[in-house]
A and B are shown apart, each in its own frame.
Chain A
Amino acid sequence: GQQLNQSPQSMFIQEGEDVSMNCTSSSIFNTWLWYKQDPGEGPVLLIALYKAGELTSNGRLTAQFGITRKDSFLNISASIPSDVGIYFCAGPAGDDKIIFGKGTRLHILP
């Protein structure tokens, strides 16, 4: 079945650094979604991408829909402590399902 592979699995960075993570798929996706999960909470949608090559920003977050439609990237600029959490890529698979990658865990060192 369709799978989403995220890298890196975890990141340890200093506050103020920029962050880059990506997500790849063995098959084409027509929509890419990025969710963030804060500790102890459910995931929340950050950015949705609908077209190959699309670049979308949400504050300090920028996401891109890869032109091959098999990958997507998420960047966070000037990280702050509240950016800590798990970042998931996701996309529709089949009729009405949304599948998720295993996530990238972001840790910010004091």
Chain B
Amino acid sequence: DAGVIQSPRHEVTEMGQEVTLRCKPISGHDSLFWYRQTMMRGLELLIYFNNNVPIDDSGMPEDRFSAKMPNASFSTLKIQPSEPRDSAVYFCASSLTGAATNEKLFFGSGTQLSVL
């Protein structure tokens, strides 16, 4: 079975450029989560969706970050304009139902973002 698929695996860009990260959740999963991982702050929840609807985006750092889930099989996380402090590993995860009822999150392999 295919797991959560993220692309690209690595992204190197220059400050000020737009960056789009992509995620395909596991088929049949209702919830999708975007996390950011850094050495200093660990794994931070940025935003999560349930049935394609954003439920909580309080973790999104600022207006430069936006996320969409146009359908059940695709989500994007966009940073515009990107800054060096956005450099991190970005993970997408999905779960069968909401995290509170089914705690098993399945993570993708992440996108390593470097903003120069």
Identify the A interface with B (CB < 8 A).
31, 33, 40-45, 48, 88, 92, 94-103
Contacts and interface: CB of A to CB of B under 8 A. Distances in A.
Contact of A100 (B43, B109, B110): B43
Interface residues of B, number: 25
Contacts of B31: 96
B21 interface: no
B50 interface: yes
A100 B110 CA distance: 16
Contacts of A40: 109-110
Contact of B100 (A44, A95, A100): A95
Contacts of A48: 103-104
A98 B42 contact: no
Contact of B107 (A31, A42, A95): A42
Interface in B96-110: 98-101, 103-105, 107-110
Contact of B43 (A31, A43, A96): A43
Nearest to A38: B109
Interface in B1-56: 4, 31, 33, 35, 41-43, 45, 48, 50, 55-56
Contacts of B110: 40-42
Nearest to A4: B42
Interface in B47-87: 48, 50, 55-56
Contact of B50 (A96, A99, A102): A96
A89 to B, nearest CB: 11
Contacts of A94: 56, 100
Nearest to A40: B109
Contacts of A102: 41-43
